[in-house]
Structure 1
Amino acid sequence: MKKLFTFWRRKDQPHNPSSHLPVGRVSTHHPTQPGYNLRDKDLKKLHKAVSVGDLEKVKEYLQLKKHDVNIRDRKYSAFRRFISGQTPPLNFRVITPLHLACANGYSNIVSLLIEKNCKINVCDSEKRSPLTKAVQCAKEDCAAVLLSHGADPNLADLDGNTALHYAVCGQSISLVEKLLEHKANLEDQNKDGYTPLLLAITENNAKMVDYLLKRGADVNASDKNQR
């Protein structure tokens, strides 16, 4: 196996999985946590109910049929007018109830929304699908529900990271295993050319590296700088 570079962090430095993503690793949008930073006034009633995990209220709103199961937050109309090709600012999240449920770990609401025929592979303004968000936020139960209903594990966000990249950076072998069971691509590269294996190496995560190699990850993978 060829020698691959590693990044080291001090022992007293707190671990932040998303901080080691090669592209957008410490996002100014999410400096400390991977969930959504929301303002109450930007949320519609269904979003509010989902955000606090109120299953009965979510059921009530959906039964009234006045609330679209795929409804976006109040910033969506503004986002549609945003100049194409630019990274949207913080308040343009354009998220669905399913994204919110996944980010907060409400698997019961995820199941309900899917039962009501919500779109499973819809993306937010950072091109993150509900599955990607569930994995990024380490909500394994939500990820399992989505995968069992056909969620695509290979959708890439604006930085080219897939759910598998986030699972590796989150150091969750169980999530990686679930994704691979549902045909996640081991060799997908993000915009810096990092495969999941290269990310595991930058994290100095020997167990993850060993697991990925056993699952067939390319030992000769290199990033865009051929390292």
Structure 2
Amino acid sequence: MKRVWGFGREKGLSPLGSASGLQRQGRGVRQENNRTDNLLLGYHVRDRDLRKIHKAACVGNVAQVQQILLLGENGVDDRDKMNRTALHLACANGHPEVVTLLVERKCHLNLCDHEKRTALMKAVQCQEEECVNILLENGADPNIRDVSGNTALHYAAFGDNISIIEKLLLYNANTEARNKDNFTPLLVAVNENKQQIVEVLGEKAANIHAEDKLKRTAFMLAVNYDATNVVRLLLQQGIDPFPHDVYGWATDEYANIKGFNL
């Protein structure tokens, strides 16, 4: 009997899972027992983990960040206990004024946190477009990979902001970068049924024939997750509808199991 992979994913969860590091989480900042709990897309921030500059950047206090730097209380690239800089925290929380100040003070744009994510990745992941623009316009590298192999474009493909995608592509983000699951940004977009993002990446010559580590193509993923419009789009772009995955399953077998009419 052939092995079936990937059918019946739980609604609301990314089938990429923690292995690819692209989970969708809640947003917001709250104060509790004299600590800051920031649950914004993976950053859980506590006062005891932070230096003065990180606390000020996290809440967007530009004047305080400036004063801390002028007095030399902290350096512009100082790390907290999770290896984050003030730039990481300002981007994750959407404080472009702080980002601008840090850039003007010559912070290093491509430093990585404990998950090897840059400030640009966090800005993209948190859909903070203004912060994304500032970073790219000042030379941030869009092609650095995090601990799971994701680039900023992978995170953008998981989101919903087309203009962030276009901005990353304008600054030469690699459409063929692969994470540890062998997902390209296009495969991420197909997997999340993001038709507009698939269209934009296709227009930029992203490889529609890319396969993940299980040799599943974009077409298989779209069929598996009932992404009718994406299936139609991929067929229009000339994708092969009859490949086989690593277990020998063909696209029509995926379709039959899912009750999908090709």
> What TM-score does the superposition give when structure 1 sets the normalisation length?
0.81
Q: Which runs of 4+ in 1 moved over 6 A?
A: 5-10
Residue 56 of structure 2 contacts residue 64 of structure 2 at CA under 8 Å; is this kept in 1? Answer: yes
1:27 Cα offset (Å): 7.7
Per-residue deviation, 1:226: 1.1
Counterpart among 151, 162, 167 of residue 151 in structure 2? 162
Structure 1 residue 225 corresponds to structure 2 residue 220: no
Provide Cα deviations, 1:189-209, integer angstroms capped at 9, x if missing partner: 100000011111111122211
Aligned to 2:64: 57
Task: Return the alpha-carbon distance in structure 1 between the equivalents of residues 192 and 7 of structure 2.
Answer: 7
- Number of matched residues? 199
**What is the one-letter code of the residue matched to 1:42?**
D
Q: Deviations over 1:100-131 (max 9, x none)?
A: 00000101100100111111000001000000
Q: Please list every run of 5 or more consecutive structure 2 residues that lacks an aligned counterpart in the other structure.
A: 27-39, 217-262
* One-letter amino acid of the counterpart of residue 133, structure 1: K
Measure how far apart 1:215 and its partner are. 1.1
Q: Which residue of 1 aligns with 2:54?
A: 47
Query: Is contact 2:189–2:197 with CA below 8 Å preserved after alignment?
Result: yes
2:205 maps to which residue?
Answer: 216
Provide the rounded CA distance (Å) in 1 between the counterparts of 2:116 and 2:8.
29
Offset at residue 138 of structure 1 (A): 0.7
Percent identity over the alignment is: 47
CA contact (8 A) 2:125 2:156 kept: yes
Match of 1:152 in 2: 141
Aligned to 1:111: 100
TM-score (norm 2): 0.70
Identify the residue that residue 170 of structure 2 maps to in structure 1: 181
Say whether 1:131 aligns with 2:120.
Answer: yes
| Unaligned ranges ≥5, structure 1 | 76-92
AA aligned opposite 2:53: L
Amino acid at match of 1:51: C
- Say what the alpha-carbon RMSD is for the aligned residues: 2.3
The structure that has the greater radius of gyration is 2
